[in-house]
Amino acid sequence: MRVYCAKDYYHASRMAANIISAQVIMKPDCVLGLATGSTPIGAYEQLVKWYEKGDLDFSKVTSINLDEYRGLPAENDQSYRYFMNTHLFDFINIDKKNTFVPDGMEPDAKKACKDYDGIIRSHGGIDLQILGLGHNGHIGFNEPAAAFAKGTQCVKLTESTITANARFFASMDDVPKEAYTMGIGSIMQAKKIMVIVSGEGKAEIVKRAFLGPITPEVPASVLQLHSDVILVGDEAALSEYNKSI
């Protein structure tokens, strides 16, 4: 694993954006696995700036997002489809037909998961997967569990995740309790994975995920088995990791 430590969130975001840009420049028709949450916002802002300068062309890029809340339509401003449109897709020349997010409105969970696995497969897998890291070690919405999930699954969100996400909703009760998420197996099949972490609040879980035992109780720990992982973070998020290596 390569670790890039930036002094703050702004610089970590620039580093992450540079890696995404390099991928798009090297392979204009690449498949990007994208994440939502607060961490990648800075990187997406940077990509938009470089696109506006004329440095980047997303016209042939396909994107496949990690997850979506079950029961939220695309127009809901808390849906991950809405997030992607308003933080990235609306400002670059990606063809929205080539942007995929699990269908939160598909009531048949089995179908939703099977369809999404089909989408990932039919695009030949993911070239560069972007990940954030949950405080409990989740990646996508793959929560701590007894086993690593292979394919797309419908999950019940844990109290810790519901509490962490409540900041985006009017009240705790409004936070959806279930989500569709790409499985750990699909994430691990990505050719390259970049995890972005920021802030002191992530310091402990970064250490556990990347230096602790590999266990489905800390889903991100499986990334230790991937041969091409880049961890990009600010000093605060990497502080415990850096102390322990």
Pick the stretch among 10-18, 24-32, 34-42, 232-240 that binds ligand F6R (CB under 6 A): 34-42
For ligand F6R, the binding residue among 33, 42, 140, 176 (CB under 6 A) is 140
Question: Whole-number minimum distance, CB 55 to ligand F6R, in Å?
Answer: 25
Which candidate, 54, 50, 16, 11, places its Cα nearest to that of 34?
16
Q: Which of 139, 209, 218, 223 touches ligand F6R by CB under 6 A?
A: 139
Number of residues that bind ligand F6R (CB under 6 A): 14
Residue 158 exposure: Cα atoms within 13 Å on the Cβ side:
16
Q: Which residues on adjacent β-strands are paired with residue 230?
A: 2, 194
Pick one of 23, 36, 63, 136: the residue that binds ligand F6R (CB under 6 A). Answer: 36
From 23, 67, 89, 157, residue interacting with ligand F6R (rule: CB under 6 A):
67
Is the sign of the CA dihedral 64, 70, 74, 76 positive or negative? negative
Distance, in Å, from the CA atom of 3 to the CA atom of 5, rounded to the nearest integer, reads 6
CB of 30 to ligand F6R, least distance (A): 19
35 binds ligand F6R (CB under 6 A): yes
Closer CB to ligand F6R, 140 or 233, in the complex: 140
Two tokens, residue 70 = 């079950």
**Pairwise CA distance, residues 210 & 53, whole Å:** 36
**Residue 39 interacts with ligand F6R (CB under 6 A)?**
yes
Question: Residue 29 corresponds to which tokens in the numbers above?
Answer: 């028709």
Q: What angle do CA 81, 182, 130 make, to 5 degrees?
A: 70
Out of 68, 103, 117, 143, the active site residue is: 143
32: contact with ligand F6R by CB under 6 A = no
In the DSSP assignment, the letter for residue 158 is P
Q: Quick check: 134 binds ligand F6R (CB under 6 A)?
A: yes
The residue from 65, 136, 142, 165 that is catalytic is: 136
CA 45 – CA 23 distance, rounded (Å)? 17
Q: Whole-angstrom distance between the N-terminal and C-terminal Cα of the chain?
A: 13
Return the range that interacts with ligand F6R (CB under 6 A); candidates 30-38, 45-53, 119-127, 225-233.
Answer: 30-38
Residues that bind ligand F6R (CB under 6 A): 35-39, 66-67, 132-134, 138-141
Catalytic residue annotation:
67, 136, 138, 143
